[in-house]
Amino acid sequence: MDDQNRKQVKIVLAGAGGYGAHYAADLLNRRQENVQLAAVADPIARRSPVWQQISQIPCYDDLETCLEQVKADAVIVSSPIQYHKQQVATALEHGAQVLCEKPLCATLEQGKKVVSLSEQTGLHVAVGFQWSFHPVILAAKKDVINGLYGKPETFRTIVHWPRSLAYYQRNNWAGRLRDSAGLPVYDSVINNATAHYLHNMLFFLGQSPDEAAMPDQIEGRLWRGQPIENYDTAFVKMKKDLPDQKPVELLMIASHSGEQERLPQIEMRFSQGRLYMEGAKLIGERYAESASGVSEIINYGLTQGGEDVARKTDALIRAVLYNEKPVCHARTACPHLAVIDWLQKHCFIEQIPQSRISVKEEQGSKWYYMPGLDQLIDQLADTFQLPDGFS
Ligand SMILES: NC(=O)c1ccc[n+]([C@@H]2O[C@H](COP(=O)([O-])OP(=O)(O)OC[C@H]3O[C@@H](n4cnc5c(N)ncnc54)[C@H](O)[C@@H]3O)[C@@H](O)[C@H]2O)c1
C-alpha cells in the first residue's frame, strides 16, 4: 500500500496460533508504516509458534475484553469455527471492519445473522477464502462473467487428501459436531481443509465479481472412516438453475480417508470452453468454432504462492482506509455455508465398516484409510454419480 497520508490502522487478531500465526507474522514482518498489530485475543496465545514475536503486544483471553480496552479499526477472526459468529458480532459492535477466516460460521442461521449485522452497521466482513482474493482466480472469473467461455454446464472438483490422526488431534474441535460446551462446530473435510474448493465452484457461478451462487438442489453422501464425530469423506452433487439453459451440474468429492495424496482435480466446463487446473496453474481453453479449428489456450498462471495471507490482510486494510468492499464478504460465503448446513441436516453419516478400514503408522501418527476408496472416487467422478451405501 503506498498512500503516505493515510491514518493508522490498528488491527486486533483473535486466534494467534494455528493459521492465525500467519496473520501475526504477516503483520509484523511486512512492517507497513501505518498498520499496527495492536492486540491479540487468545486464551492460550503462549502456545502460538509466534509467541516470541507477539509477547510484547497486549494479549487478552477474550475478544470482548480486548476490544473494551483497545480501540481497533479492524479485527481478524482466526479462532475455532464455533466462535466465529460471536466474535464477528463483537467486532462489528465495536465499530471494527472484520476479516473472518473460513468458514464464515458454524451454521447458516449464524451466517445470515452476520450478513444482517454487517449490513446494519455498514461495516464489512471479509471471509478468508484466499482463492477469491487471488488475481488469477479473479481474472478467470471476469472472463467467465464476460461470456468468454459461453454458458456454464458442469463443474467438478475432486480432492484426495489423506489426513492422519495427528491432524484430528491438533486441537479439541477438529472433526467435532459440537464442542465440549455444546456450541455447534461442524468441522468436516469440506468445511475446513477443502472448503476453498467447494466455495470456488460456487464463486465461479456467481453473476458478479463478489457473488457466489446458491445451489437450487443438493444431494450428498457422507462417510466416516476416521475415529471422529463428523464425516471425513463427502460426495456432493448440486444443481443450479439459470435462465434459458439446462441447470448447471456440480460435483464435489473430497476425502481424508483415501490412501494417496493427489493435487485437486478441478474442471469447469462451459458451452464454448473449459477452465481446469494443471498442477497449480489455472488454464482456460476456448473451443474452436469449427471442428478443424484450433482451440485457444489461456494460461491464467499459478494459484499457489506465499501471498495469500497478505492479500486478505490488505483487503481488510482497504476496508478501513477506503471503505472498500472485500471481493469475498459474508454474503459471498453464504452459499458454501448453505451447502454444509444442508448436508449436516439432511444426510446420515455412514460409518465405513471397520473391515474396510486399514491403519498404517507414518510420520509418528496413525493413518486410517479405506483401500480402494481412491479408485471408487475416480469412477464416480468420471460418471458424475454418488456411491451406494455399505448396507
Ligand atoms: N484459509 C486457510 O487456508 C486456513 C487454513 C487453516 C485454518 N483456517 C481457518 O482458521 C480458523 C482456525 O483454524 P486453526 O486450524 O488455526 O485452529 P487451531 O485450533 O489450530 O488454532 C486456533 C487458535 O485460536 C485460539 N483460540 C481458541 N479459542 C479461542 C477464543 N475463544 N478466542 C480467540 N482465540 C481462541 C487457539 O488458542 C489457537 O491459537 C478456522 O476457521 C479454520 O478453518 C484457514
Residues 180 and 99 in one domain: no
Q: Residue 260: inside a domain, yes or no?
A: yes
234 and 103 both lie in a single domain = no
Q: What pLDDT score does 31 carry?
A: 83
Residue 29 φ then ψ, to 5°: -80, -35
In angstroms, the CA 308 to CA 22 distance is: 10
Owning domain of residue 110: 9-129
Q: Which among 303, 272, 275 is positioned nearest to 290, based on CA atoms?
A: 272
Model pLDDT, residue 292:
78
Whole-angstrom Cα distance, residue 168 to residue 202? 27
Query: What one-character DSSP code corresponds to residue 207?
Result: S
Decide if 370 is inside a domain. Answer: yes
Residue owning the nearest CA to atom 11 of ligand 1: 78
Do 136 and 81 lie in one domain? The reply is: no
Nearest-atom number in ligand 1 for the CA of 130 is: 1
Q: In this structure, are 154 and 238 located in the same domain?
A: yes
Question: Residue 306 to residues 31, 134, 309, 312, 369: CA-CA distances in angstroms?
Answer: 17, 11, 8, 12, 31
Residue (of 218, 207, 286, 208) closest to 243 by Cα position: 207
Residue 367's CB is within 10 A of a number of other CB atoms, namely 20
User: Per the domain annotation, does 374 fall within a domain?
Assistant: yes
Contact 359, 366 (CB under 8 A): yes
Q: Is residue 3 part of a domain?
A: no
pLDDT of residue 77: 99
97 and 165 housed in the same domain: no
* CA–CA dist 213, 163 (Å, integer): 29
Separation of CA 158 from chain center = 15
| Phi, psi torsion values for 21, nearest 5 degrees | -60, -30
Compute the distance between CA of residue 337 and CA of residue 335 in angstroms, rounded to an integer: 5
Ligand 1-lining residues (CB < 6 angstroms)? 14-20, 41-44, 48, 63, 78-81, 83, 101-102, 128, 130, 170-171, 192
Q: Per this entry, what is the length of the chain?
A: 391
Q: Is residue 241 within 8 Å of 216, Cβ to Cβ? A: yes
As beta bridge partners, residue 269 has 154, 274
In the block, residue with C-alpha cell 473391515: 355
Comparing CA positions, the residue from 111, 253, 106 lying closest to residue 190 is: 253
Is there a domain that residue 302 lies in? yes
**One domain for residues 226 and 371:** yes
**Cα(80) to centroid of ligand 1, in Å?**
4
Q: How far is CA 204 from CA 212, 218, 329, in A?
A: 7, 17, 15
| Domain co-membership, 135 together with 125 | no
- Find the angle CA(355)-CA(360)-CA(362) to the nearest 5 degrees: 165
Please check whether residues 267 and 160 belong to one and the same domain: yes
**Nearest atom in ligand 1 to 84's CA:** 41
Residues 210 and 233 in one domain: yes
CA of 286 to the centre of ligand 1 (A): 40
| Helix, strand, coil percent content, the chain, rounded in steps of 5 | 30, 25, 40
DSSP code at position 329: B
Give the separation between CA 375 and CA 258, rounded to whole angstroms: 9
For ligand 1, the distance from its centroid to the CA atom of residue 18, given in whole angstroms, is: 5
Say how far residue 380 (Cα) sits from the centre of its chain.
24
Rounded to whole angstroms, how far apart are CA atoms 195 and 157? Answer: 11
CA-closest residue to ligand 1 atom 18:
18
Question: Which CATH number is 27's domain given?
Answer: 3.40.50.720
1 in a domain, yes or no? no
Closest C-alpha among 228, 176, 177, 171 to residue 43: 171
Instruction: Answer with the one of 75, 102, 129 that is the final residue of a domain.
Output: 129
| Co-location of 367 and 350 in the same domain | yes
Count of domains observed in the chain: 2
Answer whether 103's CB lies under 8 Å from 125's CB: no
Is 316:309 a contact under the CB 8 Å cutoff? no
CATH number of domain containing 176: 3.30.360.10
DSSP type of residue 2:
-
Report which residue type is found at 20: G
Whether 389 is in a domain gets the answer no
Q: What is the pLDDT along the chain (391 residues), one digit of tens a residue?
A: 555 556 899 999 999 999 999 999 999 998 888 999 999 999 999 999 999 999 999 999 999 999 999 999 999 999 999 999 999 999 999 999 999 999 999 999 999 999 999 999 999 999 999 999 999 999 999 999 999 999 999 999 999 999 999 999 999 999 999 999 999 999 999 999 999 999 999 999 999 999 999 999 999 999 999 999 999 999 999 999 999 999 999 999 999 999 999 999 999 999 999 999 999 999 999 998 887 777 899 999 999 877 999 999 999 999 999 999 999 999 999 999 999 999 999 999 999 999 999 999 999 999 999 999 999 999 999 999 999 999 7
Dist. CA 22–CA 99, nearest whole Å: 14
Q: What is the pLDDT of residue 206?
A: 98
Q: Which atom of ligand 1 is nearest to the CA of 128?
A: 1
Burial bucket for residue 129 (CB in 10 Å: 0-12, 13-18, 19+) = buried
The reported pTM is 0.97
Residue partners of 257: CB distance under 8 A and separation at least 6: 162, 223, 225, 226, 232, 233, 352, 357, 368, 369, 370, 373
Q: Is the peptide bond before 371 cis (omega within 30 degrees of 0)?
A: no
**Site to substitute for ligand 1 among 22, 48, 66, 79, most atoms within 8 A of C-beta:** 79
